[in-house]
Amino acid sequence: MRNYQLKIATIDLYNNEKNEGMRCIHEIVSDVQSKSNGTEIKYEVFDTRFKGEIPKLNKDIYISSGGPGSPFEGEGDKWEKEYFNLIEKIWNHNQGNPDRKKYLFFICHSFQMMGRYFKFGNVNERHSKSFGVMPFSLTADGKSDIIFGGLSNPFYAADIRQFQVINPDEKKISELGAKILAYEIVDDNETAEPALGSVRISNEIVGTQFHPEADPESMLYHFKQDERKKQVVEKYGEERYDEMITILKKPDTIKKTRSTVIPSFLNHAIDKLTAVLSK
């Protein structure tokens, strides 16, 4: 059996804020790597928002992380210009190289940056902060998409954000050949328009508003923070807080989303790339 090497880069947008997301992403990549017979995975992390580190175009797969605050916070900064420039390079590369494409996954904060770059919807501040284990509904396209295979509809995911992408631009989505895969499910006592939960730009580029990398341990870490608990209890009540803790422990909720979404993205990318290398 021939051995192949693929390069995966994680773009860290946490801006030096303490988080569990980077650990979770690394664990998922490591798990996929351990099961990739004959494929060597070279993994690197680039501290983009805090240190201005930007991966080059010589990577095969890119994962862009979540992060704190506004997706407009770095507007005009050098790191942001280079970040968008990398997205453009990946997009242009894929248009001109049908046989060896680059794969890119956006998470939460990065999903909002993705919305800014591709302009498929309005990126704005959410009517209230979202924090907890939340339900999302799959569209018809989402039900058949490779990253959501095996998930229930609705499914549960970690949702931690103050911003959102809403009002999808159907004309722009059509021009891109993009597909809306999921929406958030708005709480019964809210009248706000549901935000986009996941969008696929192409076979290689996709993103989620929620955190598919989150595991019960990372969410319990957040839930134990006094400020986070207070936020959930004040908005949803103590009973809903306890319900979220219970949901975390069920194997078909957060655990299922974690073991499905990014692993499916990575396995699909690795399969496609190794198929090209084996020719």
Query: What is the reported pLDDT for 227?
Result: 80
User: DSSP string covering 180-239, please?
Assistant: EEEEE---TT--SPPPEEEEESSSSEEEESSBTT--HHHHHHHHTSHHHHHHHHHHH-HH
Residue 123 φ/ψ, nearest 5 degrees: -100, 120
Amino acid at 125: E
CA distance readout (Å), 225 to 20, 25, 41, 189, 238 = 13, 21, 35, 25, 15
Q: What is the pTM of this model?
A: 0.94
* Residue 152 CA to its chain's centroid (Å): 18
Residue 168 φ/ψ, nearest 5 degrees: -60, 135
- What is the rounded distance in angstroms from the CA atom of residue 269 to the CA atom of residue 177? 19
Q: Which one, of 72, 180, 194, 198, lies nearest residue 126 by Cα?
A: 194
For the domain bounded by 4-214+257-277, which CATH number is listed?
A: 3.40.50.880
- What is the rounded distance in angstroms from the CA atom of residue 268 to the CA atom of residue 272? 6
Q: Over the stretch 115-157, which tens digit does the pLDDT of each residue have? A: 999 999 999 999 888 888 899 999 999 999 999 988 999 999 9
Query: What is the reported pLDDT for 161?
Result: 92
What's the token pair of residue 176?
Answer: 């891109």
Cis peptide before 263 (omega within 30 of 0): no
- Please give the mean pLDDT across all residues of the chain: 93
Check the CA dihedral 82-43-95-124 and report its sign: negative
Query: What is the reported pLDDT for 1?
Result: 46
Spans of the chain, pLDDT less than 50? 1
- What is the rounded distance in angstroms from the CA atom of residue 230 to the CA atom of residue 238? 9
What's the token pair of residue 143?
Answer: 């039900």
Query: What is the reported pLDDT for 2?
Result: 63
Query: What is the reported pLDDT for 189?
Result: 60
Q: Over the stretch 102-123, which tens digit does the pLDDT of each residue have? A: 999 999 999 999 999 999 999 9
Residue 261 φ/ψ, nearest 5 degrees: -70, -65
User: DSSP string covering 45-112, please?
Assistant: EEEHHHH-----TT-SEEEE---SS-TTTTTT-HHHHHHHHHHHHHHHHHHH-TTS--EEEEETHHHH
